[in-house]
Chains A and B, each alone.
Chain A
């Protein structure tokens, strides 16, 4: 089943009077339960691509459909809502709130989804358990290791049962052992039926994915599926 459909996507910036085509006519279809890696050198447009798929950014022109909803015509409020309901972000720098406990960090998307307190705690605990942090739920980020922090971030991304998990260089700030653990979690999540999109520049990491897209100068230059 088609989850995401991008067709003829352009993202054009005007930098100092000069036109920069961050995305230059991208067509892409992503199906349910795909494990996709987006690769490319810096400046290739992969960040813009991720922001576009993550509904953080709107295309200059083109059509973006997410589960049939027309994202390209949405306003800020609708974009926020679709991010909240359908997309789970995992960032390179974890981006946890430093003063909040692991549990509270995971609860936040549910607060914005207006779910009541008891239910939130239940769902957040469950998500933390699924990443193996059930005994760390009251720890603050600075009391956790890098790998544990990233697992909290994954729990936060999972807690709303999103349609896709979008991870931007998720192992970039981790040592290799923690990195492997995190990738193992993604592999598991994929095995459970989740759709995962990894943005990376490392081939080792991209190998975990079942499909790899390479971007160069805002265009898709390669789209390889692994059986």
Chain B
């Protein structure tokens, strides 16, 4: 069985990969080859293409994939993509948070310097959150290991995704604010959603039957 009627699904490699493959297994979409061959990216027989999670909205928006699975964090960080968000898949649950050192320097920075410095891999979510809460912030974009930014004095706070909070506590960082809860979402290309309505609705029904709501 495949996703049905030639549907192509964009599958995220990375943190959501296992959860996504488990879901596809429960939908009887074959995943053995995807699991065993991590050099190959395109699996036409199964209707699967694998990629970085942050590329999923791009492929789906342009119709290179009809459907895709990606995190709500990715969708919030790239709101310009015109994709339909069909189902909250429930797995990959985590929180977008503002964190900093225990001896929080952000309040003093705000009071004395008028702005707080924030490091993040999610500059748009961070910018929007500080704007929405009426605070001026200087956003510093980093590509990885954002935890070290406050420890080295680069910034006062970080905006990042956390599931268990372990990385934060290992670096003696504490959560100061929660911005939004995130989880994996099933998204669709707007045109496919109309022109392949039958196949997509059938798949969504199968997804809903196996995803605890």
The answer to whether A and B interact is no
